[in-house]
Amino acid sequence: MKDLQKELDERKALHLYRSRRISDGPQQPEMIIDGKEVINFCSNDYLCLANHETVKQAFIEGIKTYGAGSGAAHLVNGHSKAHHALEEELAEFTGYPRALLFSTGYMANLGLAQALVGKGDTVLEDRLNHASLIDGGLLSGARFQRYAHNDVAQLKEKLKTAKGETLVLTDGVFSMDGDIANIPALADTCMQHDAWLMVDDAHGFGVLGENGRGSLEHFQLPQNAVPIYMATLGKALGTSGAFIAGSDALIETLIQKARPYIYTTAIPPAVAEATRASLKLIKTKPELRTQLNENIHYFRECATQLGIELTNSQTAIQPIILGNEELAVAMSNALFKEGLLVTAIRPPTVPKGTARLRITLSASHSRKQIDKLIEAINNSI
């Protein structure tokens, strides 16, 4: 038998060991973590809807109507009126004919790849894709290859030798770097080679585009440019779950063939009701996106003035690349002592030599809070 403790000790020695902190209270800029009051700069709750009164009340009313759980998978008796209404509203909001709910984004990505391709087919992925996209491609059984990050020219070369059905998978906003995929070029390239293109817009949906419709709206692309659109509900929308949007034929294929959909209990209907409330807020409260974008601009402007080196990210994800795992952990711990929660991200989540602090901004962060973060980082570097 493998010596598990030895492996764990080795991870600690390499500064790659991960530990959980315990939060006490809702997601918001000010939190209590491990009993300490901190300003939270690592949540994906970009619009601060996870603790919004309207969303919470919708959740409560959903529990009163539907109870705490869904009871079964969607194809048994777990598909409620609330689920169905949310799917229709997500389809309308994104501009696709249909949308299909999944319990998690990870399940959506596994199910999509497995349902569309298999042995004899090809999956091509951006090298910096989220782990769920990578695992989806690997587990599909198709020939799996990666192209250099945002390198459409290299993707074109790989498409020339692709076999069978070809599926190209990419993040819309890359979760660790915060940059946006070149979706217009990807769409043109995939169309030229008769390849499926799927965009995982987990970190773009709700925050990018004039109306918060995500990466496609950011680039002013029509829906037919990207035949498969996926986004999660636990980030900008503040709840839980995910969906895939596409044609009627695509959604029916996923219902019939996507194993993580078929064999998983549906998310609680109350979560669907809360998400419907979040979606309405995204439609009717553009000032939330305006405030988020103002905070992003303010952070970058102040950091640049102090000589803090940033990436080219224009999104809420603002990494500071440190390179060294030990330094990343030490800085994260030092910031925590100052009352600032910023996560150290290390391999294998990011490539070796690119350990970093992953800062995420929200619509509810104040200028004073951002100033405190920048000052603490400047003093630590």
Residue type, 294: E
Q: Label residue 356 by pLDDT band (50, 70, 90).
A: very high
The catalytically annotated residue of 175, 240, 362, 364 is 175
Whole-angstrom distance, CA of residue 83 vs CA of residue 240: 13
Q: What is the pLDDT of residues 342-353, one digit of tens each?
A: 999 999 999 999
Whole-angstrom distance, CA of residue 186 vs CA of residue 199: 10
Where does 77-151 have alpha helices with state H? Answer: 81-94, 105-116, 131-139
List the beta strands (DSSP E) in 109-178: 122-126, 143-147, 166-171
**CB of 319 closer than 8 Å to CB of 357:** yes
The catalytically annotated residue of 74, 203, 218, 365 is 203
pTM of the predicted protein model: 0.95
Nearest 5°: the CA angle 170, 173, 176 is: 100
Domain ranges within the chain, ordered by starting residue = 14-43+286-380, 53-284
The catalytically annotated residue of 70, 235, 240, 364 is 235
- Cα–Cα separations (whole angstroms), residue 110 to 44, 249, 324: 22, 19, 32
Structure token digits, residue 99 = 């949308």
Q: Label residue 380 by pLDDT band (50, 70, 90).
A: confident
Closest CA to 363 of 238, 210, 279, 220: 238
235 is a catalytic site residue: yes
Q: Label residue 381 by pLDDT band (50, 70, 90).
A: confident
Whole-angstrom distance, CA of residue 9 vs CA of residue 328: 19
- What mean pLDDT do residues 19-31 have? 94
Reduced to 3 states (helix: H, G, I; strand: E, B; else coil), residue 288 is helix
Q: For a pLDDT cut of 70, what percent of the chain falls above it?
A: 100
Enter the DSSP assignment of 333: H
Q: What is the pLDDT of residues 106-151, one digit of tens each?
A: 999 999 999 999 999 999 999 999 999 999 999 999 999 999 999 9
Q: Which CATH number fits domain 14-43+286-380: 3.30.70.20, 3.30.1330.10, 3.90.1150.10, 2.40.50.140?
A: 3.90.1150.10
Query: CATH topology of 14-43+286-380 equal to that of 53-284?
Result: no
Q: Which CATH number fits domain 53-284: 3.60.21.10, 3.40.50.970, 3.40.1500.10, 3.40.640.10?
A: 3.40.640.10
